[in-house]
Amino acid sequence: MNSVELGEVRNSFETLEEKYEVIMYGSQVEGGSRPSSDVDIAVITRKVSKEENVKIQEELLGILPLKYDIRVFELYPIYIQMSIIENYKVVFGDPLEISEYFYQYRKKWDDCKHRILSNQFLSYKERLSLI
């Protein structure tokens, strides 16, 4: 993604700049986007309460054009959070502080990844063969 496009994203999300940290991830960051690709955005609230994060998510829906897929980072399952953490660009916020915040998610992933990955199968046949 070039700086003009990142600037466009910053302009679209400037109302969130004072409240939250915002990152971009997905095909726009990885370089595999097509003209019809949406822009994946995660808003970092730093809130522990699921109810608060759901309320924020509801407030965010519909305030921006449909080309933006905007979600609260804390509401994603851990394996998606890790996918985001592996490749993102900061739209708003201090990159170092965001990286430090992500440390707790990296640690959580290290603690549980063996259980998650050991339960992934290539097919139903493979899964049934273990029964």
The per-residue pLDDT for range 49-65, each reduced to its tens digit, is 999 999 999 999 878 87
**Cα–Cα distance, 94 to 105 (Å, whole number):** 17
**CATH value at residue 101:** 3.30.460.10
Distances (CA, A) of 28 to 21, 72, 104, 122, 123: 18, 18, 26, 28, 30
Supply the range of the domain harboring residue 69: 3-129
Looking at the whole model, is its pTM more than 0.85?
no
Using one digit for the tens of pLDDT, what is the confidence trace for 4-43? Answer: 377 888 888 887 878 899 999 988 888 777 777 788 999 9
Using one digit for the tens of pLDDT, what is the confidence trace for 72-87? Answer: 999 999 999 999 999 9
What's the domain count of the chain? 1
SS3 category, 51? helix
Longest dimension (CA), the chain: 54
